[in-house]
Amino acid sequence: MVIHRIFRRESGLLARLVRAVSSGDTARAELLAESVEEYVTGLHRHHGLEEELIWPLLSDRASGHQEVVELMEAQHQTIDATLATVSTILPIWRERAHKDAGELLADALDEHRITLLDHLDQEEKLVLPLIENHLTVEEWDRLGKRGLETIPKDELMLALGAILEDADPQERAYFLARVPAVGRLAWRLVGRRRYARRCRLVRDDPYTAQAGARTVFTEAPGLQVGAGAAPFRTYGSPHS
Ligand SMILES: [Fe+2]
């Protein structure tokens, strides 16, 4: 699923990039600290919407599976705790980019990722079948729609880039159809280039070629506009 793909991808990248920063390189630390903050905000936002829009409906309608909802709620809390650790170490590393603080931060991101991947796997395995059986298409659709609406306007192009980067043509069409026409135009004219620039800046790590190996170009299929695929209307779909 597209949104989960973002968090799987970024959590792994951030840990590697933080670990690769040279001691004292505060400019690089500042750039990556901003990316870590964006990641934490994005994950909180996504979980908040699941808690608001999905869990209550499943609690009402899939009462025989209440233990699944409770498991998901508990996992969100565990993930919150790992993010709190990340957020505690982040300003310490950000200030001086000391190598030891960077290692601690990268370890915290690794710990967070283990918890996150376990949760995402279980959510896809246990929750998606319940959603298919107990929610309408419109109710499920609301998650993606609200997800886009809650992104501040000045962050929309970068968020859209993160969504579209690994999206297949159907998924891309689904999300672009939910962006106002002016937003789609902005994406085509400036957004995808801005996102590619940002990726090069963050991921093309000057110290280890490996850490930044995953460079994104505007030509990448996921960053193109107007693929014309059929609307994506099935469950198990793009945005959880
Ligand atoms: Fe979740």
What confidence category does residue 89 fall into, taking pLDDT thresholds of 50, 70 and 90? very high
Query: Taking 80 as the threshold, does the pLDDT of residue 120 lie above it?
Result: yes
173-224 per-position pLDDT tens digit: 988 988 889 999 999 999 999 999 999 999 975 554 444 444 443 344 445 4
- Please choose, from the candidates 162, 181, 182, the residue with its C-alpha nearest in 3D space to the C-alpha of residue 172: 162
The per-residue pLDDT for 14 is 97
Handedness of CA 38, 103, 85, 90 (dihedral sign): negative
Please give the Cα distance from 93 to 156 (Å, whole number). Answer: 28
Q: What count of residues does the chain have? A: 240
CB atoms under 10 Å from CB of 27, counted, come to 10
- Please choose, from the candidates 59, 24, 33, the residue with its C-alpha nearest in 3D space to the C-alpha of residue 131: 59
Q: Which fold has domain 2-223?
A: Four Helix Bundle (Hemerythrin (Met), subunit A) (1.20.120)
Q: Find the 29 Cα to ligand 1 centroid distance in Å.
A: 29
Q: Find the 212 Cα to ligand 1 centroid distance in Å.
A: 28
For the chain, domain boundaries: 2-223
The percent helix, strand, coil of the chain (3-state, each to 5) is: 75, 0, 25
Q: Find the 76 Cα to ligand 1 centroid distance in Å.
A: 6
Residue with structure tokens 């001086």?
Answer: 96
Compute the average pLDDT of residues 157-173: 93
Is residue 130 within 8 A of residue 68, CB to CB? The reply is: yes
Residue 130 in tokens:
């319940």
- Helix axis angle for 169-177 and 156-164, nearest 10°, is 160
Rg over CA atoms, the chain: 18
1-18 per-position pLDDT tens digit: 889 999 999 999 999 999
The per-residue pLDDT for 148 is 86
Q: Find the 5 Cα to ligand 1 centroid distance in Å.
A: 12
The per-residue pLDDT for 153 is 87
The per-residue pLDDT for 204 is 77
Three-class SS string for 37-56? HHHHHHHHHHHHHHHHHCHH
- Average pLDDT of the chain, as a whole number: 87
Residue 235 DSSP code: S
- Please choose, from the candidates 127, 124, 140, the residue with its C-alpha nearest in 3D space to the C-alpha of residue 62: 127
Is residue 25 within 8 A of residue 186, CB to CB? The reply is: no
22-49 per-position pLDDT tens digit: 999 999 999 999 999 999 999 999 999 9
Is residue 127 within 8 A of residue 156, CB to CB? The reply is: no
Q: Find the 194 Cα to ligand 1 centroid distance in Å.
A: 29
Q: Find the 131 Cα to ligand 1 centroid distance in Å.
A: 13
Please give the Cα distance from 37 to 206 (Å, whole number). Answer: 21
Q: Find the 185 Cα to ligand 1 centroid distance in Å.
A: 31
Residue with structure tokens 């565990």?
Answer: 78
The per-residue pLDDT for 2 is 87
Q: Find the 47 Cα to ligand 1 centroid distance in Å.
A: 5
Compute the average pLDDT of residues 85-91: 98
Among 115-124, 126-135, 201-210, the minimum mean pLDDT is found in 201-210
Query: Taking 70 as the threshold, does the pLDDT of residue 138 lie above it?
Result: yes
The per-residue pLDDT for 223 is 53
Q: Find the 108 Cα to ligand 1 centroid distance in Å.
A: 19
What is the pTM (predicted TM-score) of this model? 0.85
Query: Taking 70 as the threshold, does the pLDDT of residue 147 lie above it?
Result: yes
